[in-house]
Chain A
């Protein structure tokens, strides 16, 4: 069975600094997707970034980038120039074929950005 592990229940960072959130996963599949979702206090789940396993290049979205290490089954999220609005729960998630199956979520990391 696939599992997603986020070993950091809570993280904090000062505004404008950089923070990295960790995620590891376990799968025997070679083709899959990995995601980072943000859940602010409003509870809305927002997709931050998505990585396709067959792509070696790490995905980036503005201040958000990932370090995808396929062999190590590691998928960390780096947030640069942290902003107060980045304060939220961050969930790592995994999806495999046949795709219509579930997103498998980690337990989340609570990130607090301080002024």
Chain B
């Protein structure tokens, strides 16, 4: 199993551009999550999904959108990128709501 994979690993955006961060898991997990990690800080939840077709906001959802059309994929969309969105983004998945969360390797995003 590849576990949780994320693409791209790095990206630089200009202010106002849009992009989609991809996340795929092959563990048949029903729960998936997007976090951001700002320098010197812990992770903060952006959005999460409890299954295909179901998503909900986390702590810091503004400026982001998600969709979950399949069990495997949970893309994160950034519209109108802003410097405040410069961060490292982690995708995670778990089997069940109390299950261990498995994390992807992260995407480092810089908005200039």
Query: Which residues from chain A sit less than 8 Å from chain B, CB to CB?
Result: 4, 33, 42-47, 50, 91, 93, 98-100, 102-108
Would A105 and B98 count as touching, CB distance under 8 A? no
Chain B: which residue is nearest A92 at the CB level?
Answer: B42
Min CB gap B105→A, angstroms: 6
Would A50 and B100 count as touching, CB distance under 8 A? yes
Q: Can you list, as one digit per residue, whether each of B35-58 has a CB less than 8 Å from chain A (1) or not (0)?
A: 000001111110010100000101
Instruction: Indicate which residue in B31, B42, B101, B106 contacts A106 across the interface (CB closer than 8 Å).
Output: B42
Would B42 and A93 count as touching, CB distance under 8 A? yes
- Asked whether A105 and B103 contact (CB < 8 A) given A43-B88, A98-B97, A100-B50, the answer is no
Would B43 and A103 count as touching, CB distance under 8 A? yes
Chain A: which residue is nearest B60 at the CB level?
Answer: A102
- Asked whether A45 and B41 contact (CB < 8 A) given A33-B98, A100-B31, A100-B97, the answer is no
Those of B10-64 within 8 Å (CB) of chain A: 31, 33, 40-45, 48, 50, 56, 58-59
Per the CB 8 Å criterion, the residue count for chain B at the interface is 23
State the majority secondary structure of interface residues on A.
loop
Min CB gap A33→B, angstroms: 7
Taken together as a complex, chains A and B put the C-alpha atoms of A85 and B32 apart, in Å, by 29
Taken together as a complex, chains A and B put the C-alpha atoms of A100 and B49 apart, in Å, by 9
Taken together as a complex, chains A and B put the C-alpha atoms of A33 and B96 apart, in Å, by 14
